[in-house]
Structure 1
Amino acid sequence: MGKNIRELALARLSGFRNKTEVVKEWGGVGVILREPSAEAWLRWQEIVKESDEELSVSEKAMRNLRADVTLFIDVVCDENQEPVFTPEDAEEVQGVYGPVHSRLLKQALDLIANSDDAKKK
């Protein structure tokens, strides 16, 4: 008998491309990275829509950090496919956000289908 399409379509991460990544800097723990949700993209847009002309360099850096954290907390899941963070964790994550977090976010963003992928289909 074939696979149950309904069960596959309703599985927790079935709507997102995802991958498992081992984070050596976090004691070798495995995390699941997924594409950002539409809600996270909307929160990100809300943050970055501020005009650059009105912001100092420091303010731009803080704005960009807040935007990255907004996406980061959305894309990290544990090995049980449960989200690790909620939007309420943003301030705490922002306080420790560094190159490891940034690399993980980049890998999650790389999962997004680009126009070349779409053309191949």
Structure 2
Amino acid sequence: MRSKSTASSIRSKILDPLRNFKHVRVVVPEWDSATVIVRALSAGDWLEYRRRAVQQVEDARVAAGLTPQSDEGHSESDLQVFSTPLYALVLARTLFEPPGLRIFTDEDVAELTEAYSPVHDRLVATALELSGVTLDPASDPVAEAGNG
């Protein structure tokens, strides 16, 4: 039989938000050379990203006078999708401060969207790269999520 301290040690390793995912430490010169940890997206993060991407496309369709779901005869490429909130979600889900505490919650996405800058974009690109996604600068995260 295992002791509680051994089980607790294993439990903490299993549940560690960084140990089980690719991650890197990044020095951000624009933030007084603060060090942050950028982690790959988890399966739950991807599900929430996809859910929000679908909602963004549906909202754009309604704004364009279309039905929320795709129908024949209309091009999705003509839609105006505001993708910054999706990137802000990625940032909220993947940005940690040492020793591994998440900096933002999902409730912070609106505030992150307002503050979003090229600095944030670099960190999101790192998170996506760690997650196995490569985006060219002209690509759309909605299309990358398979919703375009």
Counterpart secondary structure, 2:102: coil
Identity of aligned residues (%): 26
Q: Which runs of 5+ in 1 are unaligned?
A: 115-121
Deviation of residue 44 (structure 1)? Answer: 1.1
Count how many residue pairs are aligned between Structure 1 and Structure 2. Answer: 109
Q: How does 1:60-71 map to 2 (within 5 A)?
A: 60=81, 62=82, 64-71=83-90
Which segments of 5 or more consecutive residues in structure 2 lack a partner in the other structure?
A: 1-5, 65-77, 134-148
Q: Which moved more, 1:4-13 or 1:21-30?
A: 4-13
Query: So what's the TM-score if we normalise by structure 1?
Result: 0.76
Change (3 A) 1:27 1:58: farther
Which residue number corresponds to residue 142 of structure 2? Answer: none
Match of 1:85 in 2: 104
Deviation at 1:10, TM superposition (A): 2.8
Q: Higher mean Cα deviation, 7-16 or 78-87? A: 7-16
Larger radius of gyration: 2
CA–CA distance in 1 between the matches of 2:111 and 2:12?
Answer: 35
Distance 2:32 2:79 in 1: 32
Relative to the length of structure 2, the TM-score reads: 0.63
Secondary structure, aligned partner of 2:36? strand
CA RMSD after TM alignment:
2.7
Deviation for aligned residue 1:100: 0.5
Asked if the contact 2:90/2:127 (under 8 Å) is kept, the reply is no
